[in-house]
Chain A
Amino acid sequence: MVHNDIHATPAAGHRLIVGRDGLDALIAALRGEGYAVIGPRVRDGAIAYEPVDSTADLPIGVIDEQNGGHYRLNTGPEETLFGYTVGPHSWKRALYPPRQSLWTAARDAEKGFTIEKPDGTPPRQAFLGVRPCELRALGIHDRVFGVQPHDAGHGAQQFTDQGYAARRAEAFVVAVNCGRAGGTCFCTSMGGGPQAEGGYDLAVTEINRNGWHDFLVEAGSEHGRAILDTLPGRRAEVYDVQAAQAVTDAARGQMGRAMVPDVADLLAKNLEHPRWAEVAKRCLSCANCTMVCPTCFCSTMEDVTDLTGERTERVRRWDSCFTLDFSYIHGGSIRQSTASRYRQWITHKLSTWHEQFGTSGCVGCGRCITWCPVGIDITEEARAIHDSTRGTAGGTPEGTNEGRA
């Protein structure tokens, strides 16, 4: 394990043990600084990310049950605030909204036409409950949208998405480490893990020990530290940090799924494979997997006019490689078949993303598995191809799903 050394975590020494009142003080402090605090809430039988006013709004005593095409909320340990894993929403909604007006234009007798940009003031948003896989997804979007440069050798970063960059710069991130992995989680086999490795302002670990229920809060930025200093609590001792470590270690051992090793190379070598036609029999090309994925970023432009043709607006909205229009070029759509769309999706996520952005496009959050109406499983599809290339008899490959929930 890479992160067992407690002194390697960022901002060592700036850790506090707080009770639930400490988290309420945190929410109040953020609201006091003008942030809209968005956090986990139970809505319509799932954990949604929505505005929260206090810890009373959080999913108290709620855990989730997840599997392919299956999600249910259940009763968990009493008092637990962060017992669930990830739900259908991701922070993509807040940083990269489903619909964005880019500009409007109006006919103008003198100049021909004038273009107006919408009010560019970014919302001041604080995200409460960002899971470690979601932090990594934010990091991936930072590269995709040009806030962070790509790795050397992966193409020079030339463009920055101004809207994303502005919203991202305003965002305050409160990470929450995982004490439980869900049935479709596989972050560890994607190079991550249930413990945040940076990229947050504050990180929270919920600890239940001997009847005590409290939270270790660590600062990861100057701003986080300034807020941490105002919270009611006590300085964390080494045994507190060890208790927090035990929490994430437990989650690390519970991953519901696992990705086969060397998947980028595996898929690149199997662009022609009978599995594509097989998965196409089940796949609905409904696009749910891409919509829920915290790293999928594709969009399309919609141009609309008013009835008189005097004003026009350009809107950018989420799109997906599972739609027909997505691959429309002069003369028609090049990905007519579901097989070609599924292959585009999984090879982009797991293989070509490396060439494009220098990382995988998947953080192992499991959303695409859970929220696929027919439960198509990215790890199973990769495994099927993996197994076909080396024969299933004999040794079990590393990262097997066998024996897991």
Chain B
Amino acid sequence: MAASRKPKLAVWKFSSCDGCQLSLLDCEDELLEVAGAVEIAYFLEATRVEIKGPYDVSLVEGSITTPHDAARIRKIRDQSKMLVTIGACATAGGIQALKNFRDVDGFIKAVYAHPAYIDTLATSTAIQDHVAVDFELRGCPVNKHQLLEVLNATLNRRKPVIPAHSQCVECKMAGTVCVTVAHGTPCLGPVTQAGCGNLCPGFARGCYGCFGPKENPNTASLAKHMAELGVSSRDIAQAFRSFNANAEAFRKEGDAHDDR
């Protein structure tokens, strides 16, 4: 690149397990290349250096669960040219969005000895629900190759090659035998965006939906088929309520099978 100044990269954390940031550290060989191509301005998981904004690229991990989070993400957005959210927490609210379906005050009283110290929102929501996002990278956790691709595309000012098709396409390209058709195993693959690298079906397990709803997902048809395979209504609701429970299509399908 002819640029005289290296782009400044910041990596931010909200409510999350750190797994997606770790995917970046897990890039090992490529990480040195990344470190050579950018100036790492803020990445507490990797370095204590803190360089002031503005930033060329901000990677944001985690969901918004407190009033403080909601204010902080706005400041980060103001300081960032490109803001890319990474992982199911940041793109859909994460597993912690399960609280959205229940009484949060009840949880707080049950779990904490001094509930008064807890300052939390009633919901866990995606970054996109609070500020404009330039690209959402799905996954719980994100796939390191996809993460590198997004960084790479962003630095080279091109569109990332992150297909929005179903997990089934990945199964078929890999030659994986379909677990639903050949074994009768329930699988969320037909309504889930590809991205993990064919992990579960590649090991003869059904897809858990870690990468969230694919474009145009027909969750109702799949849920009907799961019922035909013998999955109970409760288990269908739970299948849709995992890492991407609050992604719209999964939330609606989960609600439709919630017999509470």
- Please report the C-alpha to C-alpha distance between residue A325 and residue B166 in the assembled complex, in whole angstroms: 12
Verify if A292 is at the interface (C-beta below 8 Å from B). Answer: yes
B106 beta carbon closer than 8 Å to chain A: no
Pick from B155, B161, B175, B225: contact of A374, CB below 8 A: B225
Least CB separation from B151: chain A residue: A307
Report the nearest B residue to A97, measured CB to CB: B173
**Given A43-B177, A307-B30, A286 and B189 contact (CB-CB distance below 8 Å):** yes
* Distance A303 CA – B178 CA, assembled complex (angstroms): 29
Count class of interface residues, chain A: 35 or more
Q: Are A285 and B172 in contact (CB under 8 A)?
A: no
Residue of B nearest to A324 (CB): B215
Q: Is A111 an interface residue (CB 8 A)?
A: no
Which one of A69, A281, A291, A336 lies within 8 Å of B172 (CB-CB)? A291
Interface string of A369-384 (1 = CB under 8 A from B): 0111110000000000
A44 interface neighbour in B30, B182, B191, B218, Cβ under 8 Å: B182
Residue of A nearest to B30 (CB): A307
B95 close to A (CB within 8 Å): no
Whether A286 touches B161, Cβ cut-off 8 Å, given contacts A318-B169, A323-B169, is no
List B159-181 residues whose CB lies under 8 Å from chain A: 161, 163-166, 168-169, 172-178, 180-181
Question: Which of B152, B164, B178 lies in contact with A288, CB distance below 8 A?
Answer: B178
Contact residues of A between 252 and 285, Cβ < 8 Å to B: 281-285
Question: Is B39 interfacial (CB 8 A cutoff)?
Answer: no
> Contact: A307 with B182, CB < 8 Å?
no
Q: Looking at B161, B216, B225, which has the most chain A CB atoms within 10 Å of its CB?
A: B216
Q: Please, which residues of chain B bring their CB within 8 A of the CB of A45?
A: 177, 182-183
**Interface pair B156/A286, CB less than 8 Å apart:** no
Q: How many cross-chain pairs have Cβ atoms below 8 Å apart between A and B?
A: 135
B164 touches A70 (CB 8 A): no
Tell which of B37, B156, B217, B222 touches A373, judged by Cβ atoms closer than 8 Å: B222
* Interchain CB contact under 8 A, B221 and A282: yes
Q: Does B57 contact A (CB under 8 A)?
A: no
Q: Are B177 and A46 in contact (CB under 8 A)?
A: yes
Q: How far is the CA of A45 from the CA of B190 in the complex (A)?
A: 20
Instruction: Answer yes or no: B149 CB below 8 A from chain A CBs.
Output: yes
For residue A88, CB closer than 8 A to chain B, the reply is yes
Q: Are B152 and A324 closer than 8 Å at their CB atoms?
A: no
The yes or no answer to A227 lying at the interface (CB within 8 A) is no
With contacts A69-B180, A284-B166 taken as known, whether A308 is within 8 angstroms of B225 at the C-beta atoms is no
A45–B182 alpha-carbon span in the complex (Å) = 6
Is B52 engaged at the interface, CB distance under 8 Å to the other chain? no
Complex Cα–Cα for A72 and B217 (A): 27
Q: Does A306 contact B (CB under 8 A)?
A: yes
Tell me if B113 is interfacial: C-beta within 8 Å of chain A. no
Q: A46-B182, A323-B164, A373-B190 are in contact. Are A307 and B34 (CB under 8 A)?
A: yes
A323 to B215, CA, bound (A): 8
Check A324 against B158 for contact (C-beta < 8 Å).
Answer: no
Interface flag for A195 (CB, 8 Å): no
Assess whether A307 is in contact with B218, with CB atoms less than 8 Å apart.
no
List CB contacts (< 8 Å) of A54-83 with chain B: 69-72
Instruction: Check: A93 CB closer than 8 A to any chain B CB.
Output: yes
Answer yes or no: B187 CB below 8 A from chain A CBs: yes
Q: Does A302 sit at the interface, judged by CB under 8 A?
A: yes
A89 at the B interface (CB under 8 A)? yes
A125-153, CB < 8 A from B:
none
Chain B positions within 8 Å of A106 at CB level: none
Residue among A302, A306, A336, A373 facing the most chain B CB atoms (10 A cut-off): A373
> Please, which residues of chain B bring their CB within 8 A of the CB of A336?
216
A226 vs B1: C-alpha distance when bound (angstroms) = 59
Our pick among A71, A282, A306 for the contact of B181 (Cβ within 8 Å) is A71
Contacts of B174 in A (CB 8 A): 98
B1–A325 contact, CB under 8 A? no
Shortest beta-carbon distance from B82 to chain A in Å = 16
Among the interface residues B163, B166, B191, B222, which one has the most CB atoms of the partner chain A within 10 A? B166
The digit string for B30-42, where 1 denotes a CB below 8 A from any CB of A, is 1001100100000
Q: Which of A99, A307, A323 contacts B37 (CB 8 A)?
A: A307
Contact B168 A373 (CB under 8 A): yes
State whether B221 touches A281 (Cβ < 8 A): yes
Does any Cβ of A come within 8 Å of B204's Cβ? yes
Q: CB-CB contacts of B177-202 with A at 8 A, as 1s and 0s?
A: 11011110001011100000000000
Q: Are B169 and A291 in contact (CB under 8 A)?
A: yes
**A282 — which chain B residues lie within 8 A by C-beta?**
218, 221
Whether A48 is near chain B, meaning CB under 8 Å from some CB there, is yes
Q: Is A305 an interface residue (CB 8 A)?
A: yes
Distance (Å) between the CB of A87 and the closest chain B CB?
8
Q: Are A325 and B165 in contact (CB under 8 A)?
A: yes
- Rounded to whole angstroms, the CA-CA distance of A338 and B177 in the bound complex is 25
Select from chain B the residue with minimum beta-carbon distance to A317: B173
Contact A69 B225 (CB under 8 A): yes
Chain A residues near B216: list those with CB within 8 A.
Answer: 285, 324, 336-338
By a CB distance below 8 angstroms, the chain B residues around A43 are: 177
Query: Which residues of B have CB within 8 Å of A287?
Result: 165-166, 168-169, 172
Contact of A304 among B37, B161, B172, B181 (CB under 8 A): B161
Q: Which of A291, A292, A303, A320 contacts B161 (CB 8 A)?
A: A303
User: What 1/0 flags go to A284-318 for Cβ under 8 Å of B?
Assistant: 11111001100000000011111111000000011
23 cross-chain CB contacts under 8 A: A48-B175, A48-B177, A70-B181, A88-B181, A88-B182, A93-B175, A281-B221, A282-B221, A286-B189, A287-B172, A291-B169, A305-B152, A307-B30, A307-B34, A307-B37, A308-B33, A309-B155, A320-B169, A323-B165, A324-B165, A338-B216, A370-B181, A374-B222
Closest 9 CB pairs between A and B?
A291-B172, A286-B190, A98-B173, A284-B190, A44-B177, A286-B168, A46-B177, A286-B166, A323-B165
Given A286-B166, A307-B30, 9 new contacts (CB under 8 A):
A98-B173, A283-B221, A286-B190, A292-B172, A303-B161, A304-B152, A307-B152, A307-B156, A324-B215
